[in-house]
Amino acid sequence: MFNLESFDIKLNTEFVGRNFVYSDEIDSTNSFLLNKENKFNTDGTVILAEKQNKGHGRKDRVWYSSKGQNLTFSILLTSKKIYSKKFNHINFAASLSVAMAIENLFQLKTELKWPNDILINGKKIAGILLESISKGSKIDRLIIGIGINVNQAVFQGVFNIPPTSLKIELNENIDREKLLAEFLNTFEEMLEKVKTNPEEILKDWKSRCRLIGEKIVIEGGEKTKYGIFDDLDDDGFLLLNVGGKIEKIHFGEVSVA
Ligand code: BTN
């Protein structure tokens, strides 16, 4: 069971995770926070669930996570804390914070895959799903949903990238409370950077992305595209060099060509 006291001692944030909801079982932590009716409207609210019955990822994929072994949680940001048109940066801030928390606590090398996967040795250790609700042209609630594979030793399901966990990589049980606190502490700092120094977020993200400069294939859009991963633009979109012409890619699944 998740030890709230030991988590709380390690949490250093001002607002992220200060309002903390712990759930034994829920459909999806993202869906819960997206729904305004739940009355949790404080910026930085975090809900952690031991089990999700409808945990989902990008492209409506199922997010498989055994009860009580991993970290499946979501963070709420309301319009006060959402800096205009910086969704990709917030997404990267979250991936970077997962990578940095893992590197700092366990000295494991992580790799980031556009737009929001975190890998260790080519296998997926964590995924991030941003979902939002708009009011008119403005985003009212932004939910950052994160699944980190921590103590699960065996995975069953259908995966686009083979999964791994910290337990598999390190051969030991991991303190989930310490990892969640480290992540939230880092993420709050990163959120500040999204406002004050967004270029640095992109630079740090790119330094952990192995595919920049490589031949890649992008699937999932109208048509499959092949080219060289040239760079990210200032908004975090992927720039693909297709026969010398640069195309901006807004979404899709990237893999080595
Ligand atoms: C992906 O890799 O496609 C994103 C996976 C995101 C999974 C997390 S688990 C907590 C939160 N609640 C959900 O239903 N999904 C996210």
Q: Which atom of ligand 1 is nearest to the CA of 28?
A: 14
* Mean pLDDT on 95-119: 97
Packing angle between helix 87-106 and helix 198-207, nearest 10 degrees?
A: 50
Q: What is the mean pLDDT of the chain?
A: 94
Question: For residue 137, what pLDDT band results from cuts at 50, 70 and 90?
Answer: confident
* Mean pLDDT on 143-166: 96
**Span from the CA of 103 to the centroid of ligand 1 (angstroms):** 21
* Mean pLDDT on 147-156: 97
Tokens of 45: 């609210």
Query: What single string gives the DSSP state of each residue in the chain?
Result: ---HHHHHHH---SSTTTSEEEEEEES-HHHHHH-GGG----TT-EEEEEEESS-B-GGG-B----TTTSEEEEEEEEGGG--TT-HHHHHHHHHHHHHHHHHHHH----EEETTTEEEETTEEEEEEEEEEEEETTEEEEEEEEEEE--S-----S--SS-B--HHHHHSS---HHHHHHHHHHHHHHHHHHHHH-HHHHHHHHHHT-TTTTSEEEEESSSS-EEEEEEEE-TTSPEEEEETTEEEEE-S-EEEE-
**Is the C-beta atom of 252 inside 6 A of ligand 1?**
no
Q: What is the pLDDT of residue 134?
A: 87
Distance separating alpha carbons of residues 213 and 45, to the nearest angstrom = 38
Domain map (residue ranges) of the chain? 4-207, 215-256
**Span from the CA of 218 to the centroid of ligand 1 (angstroms):** 21
Tokens of 17: 């995770």
Q: What is the pLDDT of residue 84?
A: 61
Distance separating alpha carbons of residues 43 and 36, to the nearest angstrom = 13
Express each pLDDT in 7-28 by its tens digit: 999 999 999 999 999 999 999 9
Query: Ligand 1 pocket test: which of 21, 27, 31, 56 has the largest number of ligand atoms within 8 Å of its C-beta?
Result: 56
Q: Order of strands, edge to edge, in the sheet holding 46-52?
A: 20-26, 46-52, 71-78, 138-148, 123-135, 117-120, 111-113
Express each pLDDT in 179-232 by its tens digit: 999 999 999 999 999 999 999 999 999 999 989 999 999 998 778 999 999 999
CATH of the domain spanning 215-256, picked from 2.30.30.100, 3.40.1160.10, 3.30.9.10, 3.40.190.10: 2.30.30.100
Q: Which atom of ligand 1 is nearest to the CA of 73?
A: 10
Express each pLDDT in 62-76 by its tens digit: 999 999 999 999 999
CATH 3.30.930.10 fits 4-207, yes or no: yes
**Is the C-beta atom of 58 inside 6 A of ligand 1?**
yes
Q: Which atom of ligand 1 is nearest to the CA of 52?
A: 14
Tell me the pTM.
Answer: 0.95
Q: What is the pLDDT of residue 83?
A: 61
Q: Which atom of ligand 1 is nearest to the CA of 49?
A: 10
Identical fold, 4-207 and 215-256:
no
**Span from the CA of 128 to the centroid of ligand 1 (angstroms):** 6
